[in-house]
Amino acid sequence: MTDLVTIFGGSGFLGRYVARRMAQAGWRVRVACRHPNDAPFVRLYGVVGQVEPVFCNIRDDDSVRAVTRNSRAVVNCVGILAESGRQSFDGLQRAGAERIARIAAEEGVERLVQVSAIGAEAEGRSDYARTKAEGEQAVRDAFPDAVILRPSILFGHEDEFFNRFAAMSRRSPVVPLVGANTKFQPVYVDDVAHAIERAVLGKAEPGLYELGGPDVRTFRELIQEMLVIVRKRRLILGVPFWVGRIMGAIFGSLSRATGGLIAAPLTRDQVENLARDNVVGEGVKTFDDLGIAPTATEAVLPDYLWRFRTSGQYASIKESARNLRGSQE
């Protein structure tokens, strides 16, 4: 029988890349998610019946056990950047990770991969970072041979980082940034999926890995790179952290008052995350230990940010035509 891998959060940004890779590697793939009816696209990653989206609530033991049963490997890609309703940091990133690891061990799963994040810290001021660290420890306790991956900020066609700020540049002459000088090490989403694939295939030693791209840049420098690609001149306005905390508190209160109907564009917890550099630490395992060469932003961003240019895919053609006319005059 073909090996089966269960991917929690397998229809999300990172999870879909993992599902595609595991299907291409010949595995049966069980995509565990809250809304399987919204994830029919994952079926296209393999032959008929190879990739199957299934319902799972990681806050419930029975639900997790049902989708874990008979799996040779389990991957947990579940994570949130902001709380909404019952989707809390503690419930998903700590308790959910603990439940998945504990049940995986009870069900005799051979390999477990836990996706965390650079900056995870048990004593951190951010609830996001704290619960990521608590989730890591819970996974270690329940499944000592797990592979834990901490990526920096992910980029790729469906990302919520470059796409968000590129969309903002369409509407506003100013791009405000909290933590404009904070350093990031953006990592291509499929490189992280490749790392997960190697771990599932038993080609990665158990333990903790921090994954970052080849370049370290400030928040401001990343937005400048994006603006060059989308052919827009915008003022990048650095916002002090104290102002960001006030803005996050106001937006958070408004979101809670409306029951989440109005999503907060910035939360206080996110501001606390932005106060720390998001780069690979020293003395840790990295892509090098996995035999993977990470991809630079410049090799990928133009492939999907072109749609934010005023002329879209025709911008380069128009620029070439203008240059040609200028040379003939």
pLDDT in tens, 103-145: 999 999 999 999 999 999 998 889 999 999 999 999 999 999 9
Is residue 320 included in any domain, yes or no? no
Q: Looking up tokens 């996110």, which residue turns up?
A: 270
Domain ranges, residue 45:
4-155+187-212+278-292
pLDDT exceeds 80 at position 172: yes
Quote the pTM value.
0.93
Residues 6 or more apart whose CB falls under 8 angstroms from that of 173 comprise 234, 235
What pLDDT shows up at residue 324? 52
What pLDDT shows up at residue 326? 55
pLDDT exceeds 60 at position 317: no
Q: How confident is the model at residue 87 (pLDDT cuts 50, 70, 90)?
A: confident
What pLDDT shows up at residue 14? 98
Among the listed ranges 3-12, 25-34, 45-54, 85-94, which one has the minimum average pLDDT value?
85-94
Residue in 276, 263, 145, 280 with CA at minimum distance from that of residue 210: 280
Q: How confident is the model at residue 280 (pLDDT cuts 50, 70, 90)?
A: very high
Q: Of the segments 83-87, 287-291, 307-311, which one has the largest average pLDDT value? A: 287-291
Is residue 26 included in any domain, yes or no? yes
The enclosing H or E element of 5 equals strand 4-8
Is residue 253 included in any domain, yes or no? no
Is residue 265 included in any domain, yes or no? no
Is residue 199 included in any domain, yes or no? yes
Cα(61)–Cα(174) distance, rounded to whole angstroms?
A: 47
Is residue 202 included in any domain, yes or no? yes
- Can you point out the beta strands (E) in 189-278? 207-211, 217-218, 235-239
What pLDDT shows up at residue 124? 82
Number of domains in the chain: 1
pLDDT exceeds 80 at position 1: no
In degrees rounded to 5, what are phi and psi of residue 111?
Answer: -135, 140
Residues 6 or more apart whose CB falls under 8 angstroms from that of 168 comprise 175
Q: What letter would DSSP give residue 84?
A: B
Residue in 134, 125, 54, 147 with CA at minimum distance from that of residue 97: 134
What pLDDT shows up at residue 253? 84
Among the listed ranges 11-25, 83-97, 212-226, which one has the minimum average pLDDT value?
83-97
Q: How confident is the model at residue 86 (pLDDT cuts 50, 70, 90)?
A: confident
What pLDDT shows up at residue 140? 98
Over residues 73-98, mean pLDDT: 92
The enclosing H or E element of 273 equals helix 268-274
Is residue 299 included in any domain, yes or no? no
What pLDDT shows up at residue 45? 96
Higher local confidence (pLDDT), 329 or 77: 77
Cα(116)–Cα(125) distance, rounded to whole angstroms?
A: 17
Computed over every residue of the chain, the mean pLDDT equals 93
**CATH code assigned at 193:** 3.40.50.720
Q: Facing residues of 237 across strands?
A: 176
Is residue 282 included in any domain, yes or no? yes
Cα(116)–Cα(187) distance, rounded to whole angstroms?
A: 14
What pLDDT shows up at residue 254? 83
